[in-house]
Structure 1
Amino acid sequence: MRVVIARCSVDYEGALVAHLPLATRLLMVKADGSVLIHSDGGSYKPLNWMAPPCKMVELEPDDEEREQGVASVWLVQHAKREDHLRIRLHEVISDSSHDLGIDPGLIKDGVEAQLQALLAEHIATLGDGYTLLRREYATAIGPVDILCKDAAGATVAVEIKRRGDIDGVEQLTRYLELLNRDPHLAPVQGVFAAQVIKPQARVLATDRGIRCVTLDYEALRGQDDTTSRLF
Structure 2
Amino acid sequence: MRLVIARCSVDYHGRLNAHLDPAIRLLVHKGDGSLLIHSDSLSYKPLNWMSPPCTLVVEEPEEDAAAAGVVEQWRVTHRKNGDELVVQIYELMHDSTHELGVDPGLVKDGVEADLQRLLAEQVDVIGDELTLVRREYPTAIGPVDLLLRDPAGGTVAVEVKRRGDIDGVEQLTRYLELLGRDPHLAPVTGVFAAQEIKPQAKVLAADRGIRCVTLDYEGMKGTESGAPRLF
Provide TM-score, normalisation by structure 2. Answer: 0.52
Which blocks of at least 5 consecutive residues in structure 2 are unaligned? Answer: 118-135, 142-161, 176-231
3-state SS in 2 of match to 1:225: helix
Cα displacement string for residues 11-58 of structure 1 (whole angstroms, at most 9, x for unaligned residues): 001111100000000000001111000000011100000000100010
RMSD of aligned alpha carbons: 3.4
| C-alpha separation in 2, matches of 1:112 and 1:46 | 30
User: 2:174 aligns to what?
Assistant: 225
Letter in 1 for 2:81: R
Seen in structure 2, the aligned counterparts of structure 1 residues 66 and 37 have a Cα distance that, compared at 3 Å, is same
Seen in structure 2, the aligned counterparts of structure 1 residues 109 and 17 have a Cα distance that, compared at 3 Å, is same
| C-alpha separation in 1, matches of 2:98 and 2:62 | 30
Identical positions, percent: 54
Asked if residue 62 in structure 1 is aligned to residue 62 in structure 2, the reply is yes
Asked if residue 98 in structure 1 is aligned to residue 86 in structure 2, the reply is no
| C-alpha separation in 1, matches of 2:13 and 2:113 | 38
Seen in structure 2, the aligned counterparts of structure 1 residues 113 and 18 have a Cα distance that, compared at 3 Å, is farther
User: 1:108 aligns to what?
Assistant: 108
Distance apart, 1:217 and its partner CA: 5.2
User: 2:17 aligns to what?
Assistant: 17
Seen in structure 2, the aligned counterparts of structure 1 residues 68 and 44 have a Cα distance that, compared at 3 Å, is same
The higher radius of gyration belongs to 2
Which blocks of at least 5 consecutive residues in structure 1 are unaligned? Answer: 128-161, 164-194, 197-215, 227-231
| C-alpha separation in 2, matches of 1:54 and 1:8 | 20
What number of residue pairs does the alignment pair up?
138
| C-alpha separation in 1, matches of 2:30 and 2:112 | 26
Asked if residue 34 in structure 1 is aligned to residue 43 in structure 2, the reply is no
Provide TM-score, normalisation by structure 1. Answer: 0.52
Letter in 2 for 1:54: C
